[in-house]
Amino acid sequence: MEILKTLGLFTVTALAEIIGCYLPYLYLRGGKPFWLLFPAAVSLVIFVWLLTLHPQAAGRVYAAYGGVYICVALMWLWAVDAIRPAMTDWIGVSICLIGVIVIMYGRQLDRYL
């Protein structure tokens, strides 16, 4: 159950980061209005705050978060950019998510190995 809570928190964190970066991208590359930078800044503040909610050491959290970020970014590619991921993308995401679990819970798994 804790794994699902952690993955859920990482997912929300990744969405906050992606939105915080995507809105300036729309402004800079897409010719969208300047005001998009304000919700982008708020989203990035939320992203940083969410990273602080994890009890693990910061380095471990950032490493594991990276794997979840890759997964969420791939979903963003599909949902927002309308580009369907390839099978190799899904395989890569699966490997990343296994890595996330090993990084976050490896010490607990050590007793079973």
| pLDDT computed for residue 57 by the predictor | 62
Q: Is the pLDDT of residue 3 over 90?
A: no
**Is the per-residue pLDDT at 2 higher than 90?**
no
Whole-prediction pTM: 0.82
Domain membership of residue 9 as a residue range: 2-112
Number of domains within the chain: 1
Higher pLDDT, 89 or 65: 89
**Helix, strand, coil shares of the chain as percentages rounded to 5?**
85, 0, 15
